Structure 1
Amino acid sequence: MRKKNGHKKTIFWLILLVLVFLVVVYFRGALGPRQQNEQQATALAEKYAHITKKTDYYEYQRGNSGYHTVVGQNKQGEKLYAVVSNNNRKINVLSADKGVSAKQAQDAVVSKRKPKKVLNVGLGMDKKGKKPLWEVTYLNQKGNLCYTLLSFKDGVVTKEIQNL
């Protein structure tokens, strides 16, 4: 009788160990690309935007173009956004005091659209790579995916897509 219980315990612990291992592998694979993108963007922001203290990170994906934005401060304490293209070939450095913040962009969408849940706020560039935009992605009250693009400069809505 004791051998059967000991055998069952061993099997239980082996199954539990395998499940824990699979969960760790799954989450490492899922989070790996984001962490790698963040590390690369941060290194470029430190080198070219002279950001010395990173405070936040955003991802922005619009069609074929995407951006990784590192938020931080330079040696003078000025808050900056380093907007790095997906291919790491172009970096736009923006002074935070020249535009609206992520919170202001999100608050504008929340106040106007009353979403059920905000999924993401990210800073990127328009299709031509000239104008910085905040993207707020959210679920509306019906649970449909929606997004709003707002100008970084003044927070004006430039594009909205509802009920995807």
Structure 2
Amino acid sequence: MKKWIIFIVIFIVVIFGLLIKVYFTSVDPVKAAEKKAVALANKEISIKEVEDFHIYNGIETVNVIEGKNNKGEKIIVWIPEKSKKVYVKKAKDGLSKEEAIQKLLQEKSPKKVISVRLGMEKNIPLWEIYYRSNNNLINYYYVHFDTGEWLKKIENL
């Protein structure tokens, strides 16, 4: 009986160790992309603090950094993967996440908003809102970051 308990404990520890290794292996490319994007952004504008980083995959891949500059102002940096051109805007100069959701709610009645994130397509900064409709279908709604205008919709997937 003792051998079975020891075997089970060792098995659980090995599985747990493998899961941790898989997690860190999967996070490494994102961390490397973040490090590269922050270094590139720091050539254009000094980023004092990085609050969020994500990779937007739309028409092209764009690295998006949300953070603060040396003056403590919230900034957003978009870096398209191909061109490596750095686009910087102050967060206060565009729509907030909540305002983007309000634009969606003016037009649609989503059952559930799943995610709202920044992105860029054709050098236009935008908010991508991913939501489920009342018939439980997946929908995307894109709002211009600067003006709040609707850019495009992908519905009923």
TM-score (norm 1): 0.81
Question: C-alpha deviations, 1:72-97, integer Å up to 9, x for none?
Answer: 22122222111111247111111222
CA spacing shift, 1:8–1:92, aligned 2, 3 Å: same
Tell me how far 1:39 sits from its aligned partner.
2.6
2:98 alignment partner in structure 1: 103
In the alignment, what sits opposite 1:30?
A: 26
2:40 is the alignment partner of 1:69: no
State the alpha-carbon separation in 1 of the partners of residues 83 and 16 from structure 2: 35
State the one-letter code of the partner of 1:120: S
Q: 1:51 and 2:47 equivalent?
A: yes
CA RMSD of aligned residues (A): 2.2
Alpha-carbon shift at residue 158 of structure 1 (Å): 1.1
Give % identity: 28
Structure 1, 114-123 or 49-58: larger mean CA deviation: 114-123
Which residues of structure 2 form unaligned runs of 5+? none
**Are the equivalent residues in 2 in contact too, given 1:46–1:52 (CA < 8 A)?**
no
Does residue 149 (structure 1) correspond to residue 125 (structure 2)? The answer is no
Offset from partner CA, 1:97-153 (integer Å, 9 cap, x none): 2211223213432554343433332222222x2x21111122223332211111111
Matched with 2:12 is 16
Secondary structure of the corresponding residue to residue 52 of structure 1: strand
Given that 1:81 and 1:96 are in contact with CA atoms closer than 8 Å, whether structure 2 keeps it comes out as yes
Partner of 1:125: 120
Aligned mates of 2:114, 2:25 — CA distance in 1: 21
State the alpha-carbon separation in 2 of the partners of residues 15 and 150 from structure 1. Answer: 49
Aligned letter for 1:82?
V
Q: How far off is 1:18 after superposition?
A: 1.9
Counterpart selection for 1:139 from 132, 136, 141: 132
Which stretch of the first structure deviates more once superposed, 101-110 or 16-25?
101-110
TM-score, scaled to structure 2: 0.84
Query: What is the SS of the residue equivalent to 1:141?
Result: coil
Q: Distance in 2 between matches of 1:143 and 1:28?
A: 33
How many matched pairs? 157
- Tell whether the 8 Å contact from 1:49 to 1:82 is kept in structure 2 after alignment: no
